Structure formats: C-alpha cells, structure tokens
Amino acid sequence: MEQGTLLYEGKAKKVFATPDPDQVIQYFKDDATAFNAEKRGTIFNKGIVNNTISARLFQLLEEKGVATHFLEQLSDREMRTKHLKIIQIEVVVRNRATGSLVKRLGLEEGLELDPPLVEFFYKHDPLGDPLITEDHIRLLKLANDAQVAGLRQAALHINGILAPFFKDKGMLLVDFKLEFGDSNGQLILADEISPDTCRFWDIQTGERLDKDRFRKDLGRLEETYQEVLKRVCS
C-alpha cells in the first residue's frame, strides 16, 4: 500500500500518517535491539510475525472487551490503528521472576509471583527506561492518579486473558510490557504484543520462545519467532 508521511521511527516499527488524522499505520521492521540499543541485529521476518501475532492478540482482547488501538491488519507488515497520544509509561506485568526483576531484587529465577507483579518504567530512551514509582509518575506528570490505577487494573485484566490463552498453546506467559494511549479519558491499549515485548517459556521443555534468544545469544531466532506465530494462530 502507498505510504503516507513518516511520523515516527522507533527501534522495531515505523508509524505513517493516513488521510484520516485519527488513524495511523504501524509498519513492523525486522530490526532487533536490546540493552537500550547497545546490541543491534535483525531477525528474518520478525516484522511479519510480530504484526500478525499483535493483530491476533488485539482481536482477542477486543472480543473480551478491552479497548485497543487496533483497527485492521493491512498487509504482512502493516497494521492500521487509532492515532493516540501515548502515555510515556511502560507497564510490565510479571507472573514469574526473571530479567531485570531478578537482577534488581536477587529473587530466585522462575519464582512464581502470585498475585502477579505490576511495575512501571519511564519510557525515555536517553535515561534507559528506568523503573519508576507512582510518586515519580506524579512528579513527572506522566499520568494522573486515576490513570495510574487504570493502567494497573487494565494490565492485570489483560494478563488474566493472555495467560490462559498462551497456556492453551503450551506457553507460560512469564512477563510482558504494555503501552497505552488516552482518548478522552479512556485508556486504550497501544503499541504491540509480541515475542519482542513478552517472555514465553515452553511449558514442557522450559525453552525460551521470545526475544531473550536474541538478548542472550541463544540462537534459533527465526525458527522460534515462526514457532510462536504457528502456535498463536493455531
């Protein structure tokens, strides 16, 4: 499809304008980065996988009553979405301890977190997306108190939908990151939900089925992304 004006280019996606100012097109690239872009690479056809998985998961969430920015999948790498002002907070939900949580608190790798843990990170590349508290959010005026409560509630609700969906596919939803926009006071789920923004462990084997394969040089990148696509769309 013919591209509109490039509005924004991030590490994994480009966002293009459409004739309707309330809609944009997200274009999913194969570029992969980790550790605040200190590590760079590409994963063949990752953009196709992440676009298709995100579309499927946004549809699932919409069916369950969650408001998302998703409108339609236009092509293998393009998704039409609502044009939202993104709240500059990354909301992370964790069902198991791993990653930065283990580094920060010294918890046992894989420890079950019940109830799931919600964390907020400041979406700010120059600072390396630091962990922030609700007081920091207030100080930085990133969101008001009602929005913070809404983010937490929405993230846990989404976890309650996604965790059983993935379990049915033989995958443990270990943790994931969400971003939201605000439209006239309503929180709307935005960005993407994919193996770039979630951690999945195979329930049978414990095999890592996500971007940790890239972060930790575990190999079999393309094959793993294709495997997740196959399971999500089965």
The secondary structure of residue 191, as a DSSP letter, is S
Q: How many whole angstroms from its chain centre is CA 68?
A: 13
DSSP H helical ranges for 33-133: 46-63, 99-105
Q: Which of positions 116-145 make contact with ligand TMP (CB under 6 A)?
A: 129
Question: Residues 6 or more apart from 61 whose CB is under 8 A from it?
Answer: 68, 158, 161, 162, 189
CB closer to ligand TMP out of 25 and 178: 178
- Least distance in angstroms from the C-beta of 82 to ligand TMP: 21
Q: How many residues bind ligand TMP (CB under 6 A)?
A: 11
Rounded Cα–Cα distance for residues 8 and 11 (Å) = 10
Among 28, 58, 166, 176, binds ligand TMP (CB under 6 A): 176
Is residue 177 part of the contact set for ligand TMP (CB under 6 A)?
Answer: yes
92 contributes a contact to ligand TMP by CB under 6 A: yes
Looking at residue 219, the DSSP 8-state letter turns out to be S
| Residue 226 token pair | 């294709």
Pairing of strands 198-202, 31-34: unpaired
Residues in the chain: 234
Judged by CB, which is closer to ligand TMP: 31, or 129?
129
Return the range that interacts with ligand TMP (CB under 6 A); candidates 76-84, 137-145, 150-158, 193-201: 193-201
Note whether 99 binds ligand TMP by CB under 6 A: yes
For residue 210, the 8-state DSSP code is S
Compute the least distance from the CB of residue 92 to ligand TMP, in Å: 5
Q: Which of 120, 175, 195, 209 binds ligand TMP (CB under 6 A)?
A: 175
Judged by the rule CB under 6 A, the positions of this chain that interact with ligand TMP are 92, 99-101, 129, 175-177, 197-199
